[in-house]
Amino acid sequence: MQRLSDDVHHQLRSGVPAPVVRHRPPYRPGDRLRTAVDTVLVELATNGTPGRPDLHRLDDLLVGGLAWAAATGDTCRIEHAVHAVRDARARLDAADPDGARTALLTAREDLAPPVSRR
């Protein structure tokens, strides 16, 4: 009986695959907000004078990025960028895409990952 038990345990141990190790890039505060800001900047660059529905959609993207920042507790870490994005939202609401672009560029600069030192 002992022999059977030893064989079963040996077979189970030898048949179990090694765990897969996946390396994730380090998390940086505001990653989702950065993605939203980049997306809106691209949209504003490609669409010279967006209409009301487009401005509303772009505002929704920014709201989503702000919501992620709030949900992850990053708002206080990226406070200046958050204020710039809120300013951009107000400018989108006022149908001022150029002002929104300027505010988003400021936010993007604040959200830029730090330059690595060698």
Q: Are 55 and 63 in contact (CB under 8 A)?
A: no
pLDDT digits (tens, 9 = 90+) for 10-44: 655 666 666 778 888 777 889 999 999 999 999 99
3-state DSSP call for residue 32?
helix
Q: Are 110 and 84 in contact (CB under 8 A)?
A: yes
pLDDT digits (tens, 9 = 90+) for 47-86: 778 888 999 999 999 999 999 999 999 999 999 999 999 9
d(CA 89, CA 103): 9
Helices (H) and strands (E) in the chain, counts: 5, 0
